[in-house]
Structure 1
Amino acid sequence: MYPLVRQSHVIPRTLAFYSRQIDLCLSSKSVKPTKIVHAQLIKVGLNSHTFLGNRCLELYTRYSCLDNILKAFGDITRKNIISWNICLKGVLKNGHDELAHSLFEEMPERDVVSWNSIFSWYTSCDHSDIAWVRFRQMLHTGVKPSAYTFSILISMVSYSLHGKELHGGMIKSGLIRSNVVLGNSLIDMYSKLGIINYAYGVFLTMDNLDMISWNSMIIGYSKCGCGELALSQFSLMRSSGYPSDEFTCSAVITCCTTLRNLEKGKQIFALCIKVGFLCNSIISSAIIDLFSKCNRLELSVQLFNDLNRWDSVVCNSMISSYTSHGIGENALKLLVRMLRANIRPTEFTLCSVLSSISGIPVEQGTQIHSMVIKSGFEKDYIVGSSIVDMYSKVGLIDCAIIFFASMSLRDIISWNTMIMGLVHNGRSAEALKTFMNLCKSGLPPDRISFAGVLLACSCGGFIDEGTAIFSKMECSYGVKPCYEHYATLVDMLCQAGRFNEALEVTKRIPQLRESTIWGTLLHACLGHGDVRLAEKVAERLLELEPQLSLPYIVLAHIYEMRGQWEDIVRVRETMKRNIATKVGGRSWIVLKGQLYTFMAEQLHHHASKEIYSVLELLALDKNEITATEFSETDVD
């Protein structure tokens, strides 16, 4: 056996020599030099020395060598708090949670470093509840939290009470006024909790402010829906002499987009050009989105074409703009240009394009599906839901069902998309079955799930099933019925002739101001034959929508059934005076990749004259109408 060297008799030059050897190991990218030095320490009996053992522990922790960490820790004769802290850090870094917990419990003493290590572990494991228990335990033992302790715990705050407790602790420790990082963290925390006035209070009490402080305050206002205050804060930031960066401009542009404030957005756009921020993809895409949301798509297109370089972020914003304006063919063309420029589409790209498939040929939708498979995004929740939605919209519901069945993992959006797709394609029974499978899967249904299954029960005539599902919404699943659920239930009961029950349901609807339910009841009055009730419902419906013709038509029909001819004349005269001209509908057709749109009594297309000429010849050939009915005044 090697002779053990007492720590008190270690020659300082020997200690310094091995310490320099360990310092040399820090520059190495391999653990091998550390093992060599450690072996030399074992050979001369210095592996049990506290200082040298701690240095070896530190190196092994850096390389995540758990076995060596435990060996070096076990060899140290007189372990101090540093030995325990380094070992705890190394065990946690290797992901051995139970071993780290046992080690923490065995520590003879704990300082703030020990507690910070365990708090960091709780953060990585998302154990915020345990962290708060441990924090109070730390305070009870008399250990004073450091600024790092507070910064760790702030990131785990999900309740305002915990946040205020931390804030109080910072004030008590005197850290909040002088520590800019902690102040910024508090502003961000209160903003996420929606307590924006507390965030502004922290902002006002800070002795020192930096750009992050201003940005945190502006972003906080924006996330809490206080766009005007965010713009005012930005103006104050500029007037106070603080320069703005890309994060500032991005946040302010987002505020302008939310507020639909195009003029203010143009000013920020000019600022971005002046300081050279347009080369930033986030800024460029935000401005494209601003113009699009403010109904200035032509400005979005102009900016997009003027940009010197493209990337997926900018292209995604432009594709989304095309999609939101119903120009699916342009979105597809841009996708093709992206592929030719070797720009790899992202999940967002494919989802945006898939959502525009309903106005373009189905073949292109299947091509996008193939691209999804080749890109490896088929297992993505959102992309998968978009594929199901695309097939449902174009009427290929069987393809949607097959793809949905092939999905290995499904979230609530996937289930809801499938349920709604089945309903809109007339598969009410299958939609009801899909909802039942959702409940069996262990995933709790949400508001949209119930809206879809109730609509399926209404369309399919499953009255008893629908009323039973509605009654279980809140008590069994914790989903409070909304207006759409009540409206579907009323329609369901009216279809079944359960008119009195439908009237009772209307009394439970809070602030019934929408006309849909009253229209449903009015239709039911037509079959019920109750004149006084029909008049009452019609009067309420006209209060909500004075230009609606339905109340007059239904009342006239009921009066006709009962032979009240004078009332019929009165209703029709009133209808002529009050009802404006009905807005025409629209239809479209795609031929050879070109979309043709037809409005009622009008045709929007560059070849409208030629099309009307062909229609004229066809009409004359069939002797249905004369040529004079097609005049130049009818052509747009």
Structure 2
Amino acid sequence: MFVHFKSLVFELSKLNQTLTRTKSFHALLIKTCIFHDPFYSTKIIRFYASNDDLTSARHLFDETPNRTVYLWNSTIRAHAQTHCFHDAFTLFNQMLASETNPDHFTFACISRACADTHDLKSLRFVHAVVIVSGLGMDSVCGSALVSAYSKLGLVGDARMVFDGLNDRDLVLYNTMIAGYGSCGNWEKGLHLFNAMRRMGNQPDGYTVVGLLSGFTQSNLLEIGQGVHGYCLKNGFDSNAHINSMLVSMYSRCSCMISAYKVFNSLSHPDLVTWSALISGFSQSREYRKALILFKKMSCFRKPDSILMATLLAATAQMAVLASGVEIHGYAIRHNLDSDTMVSSALIDMYAKCGFLEFALKVFDQMPKRNMVSYNSVIASLGLYGLAHEAFNVFREAVERDLKPDESTFCGLLSACSHGGFVNEGRDIFTRMDADFGIKPKTEHYVHFVKLIGMAGELEEAYNIVWSLGDDVDSGVWGALLSCYDAHNDSRLAEVVARRVFDKQRDRSAYKVMVSNFHAGNGRWDDVKKLRDDLDYVGNKKVCGISWIGI
């Protein structure tokens, strides 16, 4: 009888086990009085979990008296996979108190859960239990811990775990290289990639994907091309996953010709690859190409909320309402308009296209709001100089126990700057650190310096900039110089510009600005000298353009 049922279970495992079939099989086992056998309970729990019926899975687990490690693992994994992390941790602690010892699969599952919940304290506890259990040298546990620490940004801790393992297989190397990639530490990832090759470990597709994920800056293009050459030399060019990552890498490095060439080599690009290419064109300011690609993609793939937000951002930069409205309609037809990320992008798009009332209407109709959506409204109101309205939205967000972030205060300070609300701006600048623990960054200083300087407090604005020390961003200096320009104080502007010329590598923008000051005061010899200097070093000011979309 038992042999017959076990063979039946194995056969059922091969089928598409629907919830109805699972319940029927469960009823059959109850009828034959063997449903308390942990072997069958484990299988049924897995069937229930695969059909998202966690209640039935947990009920069966609670009724099973003799719980094996496989039964515990199946139940913990079922809760973790459905993001019921609290229940997964509770079960793990109950398992530790039981007579059943966790194995490496238990620790791997619970480590991933710690990473998914960004729970460093629990991860350190799990790591300690792994060591106490004698599994500190186990490769499965090691890979899981390396991955978890990397996802939490603790790549140094991940490397300590990696270095402590004697048996480093390909999976472990891949995990560590991917950890470096996720943290943007491409140099150490590349060094480990070369070290594993010297040790005789042959990289596979996952190794290359993890390595390429760290190349996020345009100055890494040459190294990325070298890795691409390695792929071609070793026959990885037919791997769709690698080609997808190459598209992403070239897009992030703003090399859209190569990105498009690799993309065209794919017979069935997935949504991630389409999104990488479209985002690349958008970030390279080739917005029309991004929109054309989206229209092509929509014939094959349904976009997700991230891609929709990217497209709306591109439309906002173009300030073409028609395209934005078209994308809005597409989002409504595909039930993506209620997504918080899409709604926030819609608010930004409508505001930058000159239709603030539409932006506010989208905000009012949002079923769920987070700080990102509030930031979008605050920034939009600030763009129109409606500082008091922006303050009201800010207060509403705080009253709803949402935590303001750096973008929140950028929007508020921008609103004060556009509206000329000096006292309110001072108060906001003070509160962001005192009340919310957010240290001012470059963007905040740009808005604050411009607010103070435009109000005529030029000396105070100068002292603020000078208090920042040597590493002052060019944007802050630009804000200060624009204030001197507005108040026609060419003497101080020249003093500041002279200091900037000594500290900043890219001086062309400042020289153009100072040249304009001199022109306004009729100092044409000084204007000619600065302009000739710009021509000599090959710098040209990009002409401004305006257009109206009909």
Matched, 1:354 2:312: yes
Assess if the C-alpha contact under 8 Å between 1:115 and 1:138 holds in 2.
no
Q: Which residue identity does 1:543 align to in structure 2?
A: D
Instruction: Rate the CA distance shift 1:442–1:292 in 2: closer, same or farther, 3 A.
Output: same
- Equivalence for 1:176: 136
The higher-RCO structure (CA 8 Å, 6+ apart) is: 2
Instruction: Rate the CA distance shift 1:585–1:93 in 2: closer, same or farther, 3 A.
Output: same
1:150 alignment partner, one of 86, 107, 115: 107
Q: Which residue identity does 1:423 align to in structure 2?
A: G
| Superposition map of 1:495-534 within 5 A | 495-499=454-458, 501-502=460-461, 505-506=464-465, 509=468, 513-518=472-477, 520-521=479-480
TM-fit CA distance, 1:305: 3.1
Provide structure 2 residue ranges, at least 5 long, that are not aligned to the other structure.
Answer: 13-20
Give the TM-score, by structure 1 length.
Answer: 0.68
| Superposition map of 1:559-578 within 5 A | none
TM-fit CA distance, 1:388: 2.0
SS at match of 1:225: coil
Q: Which residue identity does 2:448 align to in structure 1?
A: L
Instruction: Rate the CA distance shift 1:437–1:538 in 2: closer, same or farther, 3 A.
Output: same
CA deviations on 1:278-315 (whole Å, 9 max, x unpaired) are 45443223222333344432222333334334443333
**Structural RMSD (CA):** 4.6
- Equivalence for 2:209: 250
- Equivalence for 1:262: 221
Task: Give the whole-Å Cα distance in 2 for the aligned partners of 1:163 and 1:60.
Answer: 26
TM-fit CA distance, 1:530: 9.5
Assess if the C-alpha contact under 8 Å between 2:76 and 2:92 holds in 1.
no
| Superposition map of 1:148-227 within 5 A | 148-155=105-112, 156=114, 158=118, 163=123, 166-177=126-137, 179-227=138-186
Task: Give the whole-Å Cα distance in 2 for the aligned partners of 1:362 and 1:34.
Answer: 57
SS at match of 2:136: coil
2:251 alignment partner, one of 284, 292, 307: 292
| Superposition map of 1:106-121 within 5 A | none
Matched, 1:345 2:327: no
TM-fit CA distance, 1:372: 1.1
Task: Give the whole-Å Cα distance in 1 for the aligned partners of 2:357 and 2:489.
Answer: 44
1:318 alignment partner, one of 277, 301, 307: 277
TM-fit CA distance, 1:470: 2.1
Instruction: Rate the CA distance shift 1:453–1:405 in 2: closer, same or farther, 3 A.
Output: same
Instruction: Rate the CA distance shift 1:128–1:261 in 2: closer, same or farther, 3 A.
Output: farther
TM-fit CA distance, 1:219: 0.8
Task: Give the whole-Å Cα distance in 1 for the aligned partners of 2:241 and 2:548.
Answer: 35
Q: Which moved more, 1:537-546 or 1:283-292?
A: 537-546
Task: Give the whole-Å Cα distance in 2 for the aligned partners of 1:300 and 1:464.
Answer: 49
Assess if the C-alpha contact under 8 Å between 1:187 and 1:203 holds in 2.
yes
TM-fit CA distance, 1:489: 2.4
- Equivalence for 1:62: 44
Matched, 1:307 2:266: yes
Instruction: Rate the CA distance shift 1:463–1:271 in 2: closer, same or farther, 3 A.
Output: same
Task: Give the whole-Å Cα distance in 1 for the aligned partners of 2:92 and 2:467.
Answer: 44
Instruction: Rate the CA distance shift 1:320–1:207 in 2: closer, same or farther, 3 A.
Output: same
CA deviations on 1:435-462 (whole Å, 9 max, x unpaired) are 3333233322111111111110121122
Task: Give the whole-Å Cα distance in 1 for the aligned partners of 2:498 and 2:395.
Answer: 40
Task: Give the whole-Å Cα distance in 2 for the aligned partners of 1:570 and 1:553.
Answer: 12
TM-fit CA distance, 1:375: 1.4
TM-fit CA distance, 1:215: 0.5
- Equivalence for 1:48: none
Task: Give the whole-Å Cα distance in 1 for the aligned partners of 2:68 and 2:348.
Answer: 56
Instruction: Rate the CA distance shift 1:571–1:21 in 2: closer, same or farther, 3 A.
Output: closer
- Equivalence for 2:404: 445
SS at match of 1:209: coil
- Equivalence for 2:16: none
TM-fit CA distance, 1:472: 1.6
1:394 alignment partner, one of 353, 360, 363: 353
- Equivalence for 1:82: none
Q: Which residue identity does 1:350 align to in structure 2?
A: M
Task: Give the whole-Å Cα distance in 2 for the aligned partners of 1:461 and 1:492.
Answer: 7
Assess if the C-alpha contact under 8 Å between 2:150 and 2:158 holds in 1.
yes
Instruction: Rate the CA distance shift 1:401–1:280 in 2: closer, same or farther, 3 A.
Output: farther
Assess if the C-alpha contact under 8 Å between 2:378 and 2:412 holds in 1.
yes
2:292 alignment partner, one of 317, 328, 333: 333
Assess if the C-alpha contact under 8 Å between 2:348 and 2:380 holds in 1.
yes
1:476 alignment partner, one of 435, 451, 455: 435
CA deviations on 1:415-474 (whole Å, 9 max, x unpaired) are 222222233344444333333333233322111111111110121122222222222212
SS at match of 1:255: coil
1:423 alignment partner, one of 365, 369, 382: 382
Provide structure 1 residue ranges, at least 5 long, that are not aligned to the other structure.
Answer: 1-16, 42-51, 67-89, 561-567, 593-636
CA deviations on 1:588-616 (whole Å, 9 max, x unpaired) are 65889xxxxxxxxxxxxxxxxxxxxxxxx
**Rg larger in structure:** 1
Task: Give the whole-Å Cα distance in 2 for the aligned partners of 1:380 and 1:421.
Answer: 19
Task: Give the whole-Å Cα distance in 2 for the aligned partners of 1:33 and 1:531.
Answer: 86
TM-fit CA distance, 1:159: 6.3
Task: Give the whole-Å Cα distance in 1 for the aligned partners of 2:124 and 2:46.
Answer: 37
Task: Give the whole-Å Cα distance in 2 for the aligned partners of 1:553 and 1:40.
Answer: 92
Q: Which residue identity does 2:445 align to in structure 1?
A: Y
> For this pair of structures, how many residues does the alignment match?
524
Task: Give the whole-Å Cα distance in 1 for the aligned partners of 2:547 and 2:491.
Answer: 46
Assess if the C-alpha contact under 8 Å between 1:34 and 1:56 holds in 2.
no
